[in-house]
Amino acid sequence: MAQSHIPRQTFFVDAMLGKLARWLRILGYDAAYERNISDEDIVDRVLNEHRWLLTRDRYLVQRKAVRGRFTLIHSDFVIDQLWQLRTELQVRLTIDEETVCRCVACNHILETIPPSQARPRVPPFVAKHHTHFTGCPNCGQLYWAGTHWGHLQERLKLLSQASPHQGPDS
């Protein structure tokens, strides 16, 4: 079930969809996620934080409190899940200058880190070849555009242009 109005596209992603939560964060979406949380606490967070619930749990969406505030995800594969969100909720599958960078680990907004502060905390090769770093003010995770960045951008480009396919999850 999908509804047309999603407040600020802030999501709560249930425990069965951890990879989807990470991808949404990469795409700049506020995607709350907890591995160990009761259904009651999920409902409370969805309501109190005005979030849209993404779940594969058919029993959870039968609760009156979440009626009109959820999308039931159909596939086990993250590529198909992203395609469903693109189709049903108009989730953007692009990363550009307008994308808010979020920590994949904890969902906080990332901040630019001066190279002088980042270099002692990254591998020597990275310190030598990269000048732009971001970091999470909450958990301390550091990020830079390594070789994975090009692969990620290519996957998003293909996904935004074509229909999904069943295949290995990533």
Task: Write out pLDDT tens, residues 127-160.
Answer: 999 999 999 999 999 999 888 888 888 888 887 7
Give per-residue burial for 142-157: e unless 16+ CB within 10 Å, then b: ebbeeeeeeebeeebe
Task: Write out pLDDT tens, residues 80-89.
Answer: 999 999 999 9
In this structure, is residue 117 part of a structural domain? no
The total domain count for the chain is: 1
Decide: 127 and 119 in contact? Cβ < 8 Å. Answer: yes
In this structure, is residue 141 part of a structural domain? no
In this structure, is residue 34 part of a structural domain? yes
Q: How far is CA 22 from the centre of its chain?
A: 4
In this structure, is residue 125 part of a structural domain? no
Domain interval for residue 50: 7-105+147-170
In this structure, is residue 134 part of a structural domain? no
In this structure, is residue 43 part of a structural domain? yes
In this structure, is residue 133 part of a structural domain? no
Tokens standing for residue 58 = 């058919």
pLDDT, tens digit only, all 170 positions of the chain: 444 444 458 999 999 999 999 999 999 999 999 999 999 999 999 999 999 999 999 999 999 999 999 999 999 999 999 999 999 999 998 888 778 889 999 999 999 999 999 999 999 999 999 999 999 999 999 999 888 888 888 888 887 776 655 444 44
